[in-house]
Structures are given as C-alpha cells and as structure tokens.
Structure 1
Amino acid sequence: MKIKEIIVVEGKDDTTAIKRAVEADTIETNGSSIGDAVIEQIKLAQKARGVIIFTDPDFPGEKIRKTITEKVAGCKHAFLTKDEARPKRGKGIGVEHASSEAIRLALQSVKEEMEEYISDITFDDLVDAGLIGGSQAKARREKLGISLKIGYTNGKQLHKRLNMFQITKEEYDEAINRIIQEEKN
C-alpha cells in the first residue's frame, strides 16, 4: 500500500513502524514542542502532497495534533485506539507499538478536516447520549471515537471534532445506538 500524502509522526520509531506497514514518507516532530522549522516543513508538505497527522493516542499526541491543526490548514488525520497502540509486553503507548495491520487500517480510515461544515449534531445531542456529564461519558466518548474512527476526545472537543470531520447525524446516531445496544447486552 502506497500513501501519497506525507505522514507526520512523533519520532523515529513511529517512522519505522509506518514504513514496515506501508510505503510512505514521514516528517518527525521529535516531541510535543514543535519548532517553527518543523511547522514550515509540514506546510510545504501540505502544499506539495498533502499531510496525514498520525500521532500517539495520548495527551502529548493530541497536543501535537492540535498544534499542527492550528498552524496548517486542511490536514488529514489517522487514529489508533489505545489498545492498538499498546505493546504486547511492557509499558507505553504509541504508533511504534501498533501492528502493521492496525496502521494500514488507520490509514485507510483517514479523516479530512473541514473548516466550514456545520453538523446537525447539537451539544444537547451529546448530553442526551450521555457523552458529556454522565458517569459513563468518558467510556462512551472512547467507544464513539473508535466507532467513528475520530480518536478519543474530551467532552469539550467532541463536538468540534464531529464537525471538523463532517460526521453526519445519521453516522452519529448509528454509532450511539450501537454503543447503547452493546451496553445493554
């Protein structure tokens, strides 16, 4: 599988895992304090071939994703679940621990940012579905992120991400109904 876009990852081990799974070029951020030179490199990559942000499913990875998204418009996003990013042995979480199959699936399910899309999904819909403010909210948001392949978000960011990736009300409703049905079983 060959990827046209340049994939932005956190470090060398992530690049190794990506290249083991697919044929692609990468840019490494080398941590969460991304310098201006790396941002300029990502901007050039975005203009030339497009960019896929593929960071770890943890706080630093989300921080990197947010920083790049704020400074480089129109990026695409690939996500792994925390389970997919855990090593078979030992501790840690990251793209470098994911199987080649999980990486390929994440890259096949890339989501594209869209600034101007306004979803039919309201904040009240999120509250009503128990995604914000309830005892099961965090677990439900995690399941929703996996189902829609948009990654985990906190309650504040969920509505923004649903809009950013143009998740339709129908897709959202189907995912929520599946989650609620699974909880009943």
Structure 2
Amino acid sequence: MKIKEIIVVEGRDDTTAIKRAVDADTIETNGSAVSEETILKILHAQEKRGVIVFTDPDYPGERIRKIISEKVPGCRHAFIKKTDALPKSGRGIGVEHASPDVIRDALKHAHVIEEQQKEEITKDDLVTAGLIGHPKAKERRERLGDALRIGYTNGKQLHRRLMMFEISRDQFSKALKLILQEEENV
C-alpha cells in the first residue's frame, strides 16, 4: 500500500513501524518540543503532497498533534487505540508497537480537519450522555474515541475533537448507542 501524503511521526522507531506496514515517507518530530525547522518541513510537505499526523495515543502525542494542527492547517490525522499501541513486553506506549494491520487501518481512516466548524453536538449533550461528570465517563470517552476513530480525549478535549472532525449528531448518537448497549450487556 503506497501512501502519497507524508506521515508525521514522533521518532525513528515509529518510522520503522510505518515502513513495515506501508510504502510511505515520514517526518520525525523527535519529541514533543516540535522545532520551527520541523514545522517548516511539515508546511512544505503539506503544500507538496499533504500530511497525515500519526502520533502516539498519549499526552505527548496529543501535544504534538495540537502544535502541528495550529501551525499547519488542513492535515489529516490517524489514530490508534491505546491497547493497539502497547508493547508485547516492557513499558511504554506508541505507534512503534502497533501491528502493520493496525497501522494500515488507521491510515485508511485518517480524518481531514475542515476549517469551518459548526456545532452539532453541545457540551450539554456530552454531560447528558455521561461522557463528562459521570462515574463511567473516562471509559465511555475512550470507547467513543475508538468508535469514531478520533482517539482518546479527556472531558475538556472531547467537544473540540468532535467539532474538529465534524462528527455529525447522527454519527455521535449511533456510536453512543452502541457503547451504552455494550455496557448493558456486561
């Protein structure tokens, strides 16, 4: 599978994992302090071929994603579940631990961020759905992020991420319904 866009990853091990899964070029941020030089490379890549941001499903990965989104508009974003980013042994979490199939699937479902954001889902909807301020809120947000392929978020980030990826009320409702049905069946 050949990927036209340049994939932005955190480090060399992520590049190795990407190249095991697909034929693609990468730019490495080398940590969460994304340099101006790296931002300029990403801007150039976005202009020439497009960019897919594919960072680890943890706080530093989200920080990198946010920095790039603010400075390089129009990037696509690929996400993997935390459970797919765990090493077989040892510690840490990251894209480098994901299987080639998981990486290909995440890239296939990468989202484009649109400039115009209209609010279909309100913060009150998130409270009513038990995604904020509920005993099971964290678990529900994690499962919702997986179902909608937008990654895990905390309560404050969820609304922004739903708007950023233009998740419709219908998509949100269907995903939430499945999550609540799964809870009932447990």
Same fold? TM cut 0.5: yes
Aligned to 2:36: 36
Q: Secondary structure in 2 aligned to 1:87?
A: coil
Which ranges in structure 1 are unaligned for 5 or more consecutive residues?
Answer: none
Q: Secondary structure in 1 aligned to 2:44?
A: helix
Using the TM superposition, give the Cα deviation of residue 109 of structure 1 relative to its aligned residue in structure 2, in angstroms. Answer: 0.7
Aligned to 2:90: 90
Please say if residues 54 and 79 of structure 1, whose CA atoms lie closer than 8 Å, have aligned partners that are also in contact.
yes
Cα distance in structure 2, aligned partners of 1:92 and 1:34: 20
Aligned to 2:121: 121
1:65 aligns with 2:65: yes
Instruction: Write out the 4+ residue segments of structure 1 that deviate beyond 6 Å after TM superposition.
Output: none
Cα distance in structure 2, aligned partners of 1:85 and 1:21: 14
Cα distance in structure 2, aligned partners of 1:184 and 1:90: 34
Show CA shifts across 1:66-111 (max 9, x none). 1111111011000011000001111110000000000000001101
Aligned to 1:130: 130
Amino acid at match of 1:7: I
1:167 aligns with 2:167: yes
Using the TM superposition, give the Cα deviation of residue 119 of structure 1 relative to its aligned residue in structure 2, in angstroms. Answer: 3.3
Aligned to 2:147: 147
Q: Secondary structure in 1 aligned to 2:5?
A: strand
TM-score calculated relative to the size of structure 1: 0.98
Using the TM superposition, give the Cα deviation of residue 115 of structure 1 relative to its aligned residue in structure 2, in angstroms. Answer: 2.2
- The percentage of counterpart residues that share the same residue type is 63
Amino acid at match of 1:99: S
Amino acid at match of 2:31: G
Show CA shifts across 1:140-175 (max 9, x none). 100000000000011111111111111111110000
Cα distance in structure 1, aligned partners of 2:132 and 2:70: 24
RMSD of equivalent CA atoms: 0.7
Show CA shifts across 1:95-137 (max 9, x none). 0000000000000110111121213111111110000111111
Q: Secondary structure in 2 aligned to 1:8?
A: strand
Cα distance in structure 1, aligned partners of 2:159 and 2:4: 29
Aligned to 2:46: 46
Amino acid at match of 1:114: E
How many residues are aligned here? 185
Which ranges in structure 2 are unaligned for 5 or more consecutive residues?
Answer: none
TM-score calculated relative to the size of structure 2: 0.98
Aligned to 2:111: 111
Aligned to 2:74: 74
Cα distance in structure 1, aligned partners of 2:164 and 2:35: 25
